Chains A and B, each alone.
Chain A
Amino acid sequence: MAASIAMALLPMLPQIVDSTIKVAQIVRDLHGTPEEAKAQLDQITKDLQGIVAQVVATELPK
C-alpha cells in the first residue's frame, strides 16, 4: 500500500526537477545584455500571470 502511494506521489518529482533546472539554467546564463534581461523579465511576467491563475484555481484537499 505504502509503495503504491509513493508511486502515486512520484509524478510530482519531474515537474519539481524541471522547474529547479530552469532556475539553475537562468542563473547560469546570466551574462546577457540589459535588453536581453528585459526580454526575459517580460516573458517571466507573462508566465507568472498564468501560474497565478492556476494557483488560485487549484483544488485543495477537502
Chain B
Amino acid sequence: MRQKTSWVPLVILLVGLVTACTTLPFGRTPEQSFVVTGASLEALGTQFLAVTKQVTEGCNLNAIPSNICTRYRLFGEHFKASYPVVIGMWEAAYKAGNDTARQRAEETAVSLSKDLAAFMVEILNQVAPEVK
C-alpha cells in the first residue's frame, strides 16, 4: 500500500526557512547581510514563478476552485507590482550601504513570502486534502 505523503508541512517548512534566513541574526558583516537578503529575494522570486505556473495551469484546467483562482490572480498582480519595487529598494540600499533600507526591503519580502506560503497551503488543502 502506498504511503500517504505529508507535504504541506514540508512546504511550510521550506518557505519558513527562506523567511528565517532573512531574519535570524548571524553576526554578519554589512556585505554578508546584503548577500543573504539578496539570495532570499532570489528564492522568493523563484518560488513565486514556480507556484504561479502550477496554479495557472490548475486554474486553466478548472482543477482549482475559481474563488481561489480569482484571489490568487489579485495576489499575483500585487506581487508583480511589489517585487520589482522590493528589488529596487534592495539595490538602492546596497549601493548606498544603507542597512535600514535593506531591512525595509527584507520586511516587505518576508510579508510577500508569508502570503505566498499561505496560498500554497490553502490550495493544497483544497485540491488534495486526502494527500496530506
The chain A residues found within 8 Å of chain B, CB to CB, are 1-3, 5-6, 8-13, 15-20, 22-24, 26-27, 30, 34, 37-38, 40-41, 44-45, 47-48, 51-52, 54-56, 58-62
Tell me which residues across on chain A come within 8 A of B72, comparing CB atoms: 60-61
CB distance from B77 to the nearest CB of A (A): 7
Q: Which of A3, A20, A27, A61 contacts B76 (CB 8 A)?
A: A61
Tell me which residues across on chain B come within 8 A of A10, comparing CB atoms: 7
Tell me which residues across on chain B come within 8 A of A17, comparing CB atoms: 14
Q: Which of B57, B94, B123 contacts A41 (CB 8 A)?
A: B94
- Smallest CB gap from A25: residue in B: B39
The chain B residues found within 8 Å of chain A, CB to CB, are 7, 10-11, 14-15, 17-18, 21, 26, 28-29, 31-32, 34-36, 38-43, 45-60, 63-64, 69-70, 72-73, 76-77, 79-80, 83-84, 87, 90-91, 94, 123-124, 127-131
How far, in whole Å, are A13 and B64 apart by their CA atoms in the complex?
A: 18
- Smallest CB gap from B77: residue in A: A60
B38 touches A24 (CB 8 A): no
